[in-house]
Structure 1
Amino acid sequence: IFEQLGEPAFRDGERRVIARLLEGPPIVLATGGGAFMNAETRDLIKARSVSVWLKTDLPILARRVARKDNRPLLTGKDPMTVLQEQAEVRYPAYGRADITVETGDSPHQVTVDQVVRALTDWQARASA
């Protein structure tokens, strides 16, 4: 879709899928970074769920994305350069997430534990 119809068509379809999923039972929904940049999608997420930004240092992200060739915005480009440019534009929107969890290069279970603790703390504050 991204390649054939372009990013706007992809983001529109992404928004519709996210809206449908958020109407169902509680789930963990991992979106790509571009999804939260769409104001309508971001509003849906904020209204119907708890949003969590997994904030990771750019060199770690660059290393991770360099291992894959399925990221249209990175095709044929230096990952670090693209990520730095995206960070400048995206971080203000990402900062609107309900929770920010600073992650590193730890095993997945460490990040899961961090997210669970952050959600528990967030819920306690929201209930107070």
Structure 2
Amino acid sequence: VSEIFATRGEADFRAGEARVMKRLLEGPPIVLATGGGAMMNDETRAMMKEHAVTVWMRADLHVIAERVARRDTRPLLRGRDTIKVLSELSEKRYPVYGEADVTVDVGGGSHGVALEAMLTELRKYALEQGVR
């Protein structure tokens, strides 16, 4: 991701991301974990709503900042004040993320705890939708 951002720019990365996601979403059922910017593309978001159950893994910005600080692979954060950038991004993105079918609050716990919370919420969603 960082290399594509550096050599071709964010717009080119997002266009490629949208093409790959379209191909994957039109294929057999899978779990597709996206980056935060994927939902900001109107066409990609519409395709996700049509072909998938979308989940927003919501966490406190300080938890997110702590997690992303572990590796320097986020081009939008590189060399900048992480909390400030995350706050700016959240103002733009959270209303769109709020369109997800399921919202799961994940804290600073383990991946396993987050997974269990997602599974619980997905089961509730399935029951609400009449899916077994």
- What stretches of structure 2 of length at least 5 have no aligned partner? none
Q: Which residue of 2 aligns with 1:68?
A: 71
Instruction: Choose the corresponding residue for 1:45, options 48, 54, 72.
Output: 48
Deviation per CA, 1:9-52, whole angstroms, max 9, x where unpaired? 10010011011111221111100000011111111111100000
Identity %: 52
1:58 corresponds to 2:57: no
CA deviation after TM superposition for structure 1 residue 90, in Å:
0.5
Per the alignment, in what secondary structure is the counterpart of residue 76 of structure 2?
A: helix
- What stretches of structure 1 of length at least 5 have no aligned partner? none
Instruction: Choose the corresponding residue for 2:127, options 110, 121, 124.
Output: 124
CA RMSD of aligned residues (A): 1.0
CA distance in 2, matches of 1:86, 1:117: 28
CA distance in 2, matches of 1:63, 1:125: 34
In the TM superposition, structure 1's runs of 4+ consecutive aligned residues that sit over 4 Å from their partners are none
Per the alignment, in what secondary structure is the counterpart of residue 73 of structure 1?
A: coil
1:104 corresponds to 2:107: yes
Per the alignment, in what secondary structure is the counterpart of residue 84 of structure 2?
A: helix
CA deviation after TM superposition for structure 1 residue 67, in Å:
1.4
CA distance in 2, matches of 1:3, 1:51: 29
Q: Which residue of 1 aligns with 2:25?
A: 22
CA distance in 2, matches of 1:67, 1:84: 19
TM-score between both structures, scaled by the size of structure 2: 0.94
CA deviation after TM superposition for structure 1 residue 116, in Å:
0.9
Deviation per CA, 1:84-111, whole angstroms, max 9, x where unpaired? 0101110000000000000101111111
The size of the alignment, in residue pairs, is 128
CA deviation after TM superposition for structure 1 residue 66, in Å:
1.2
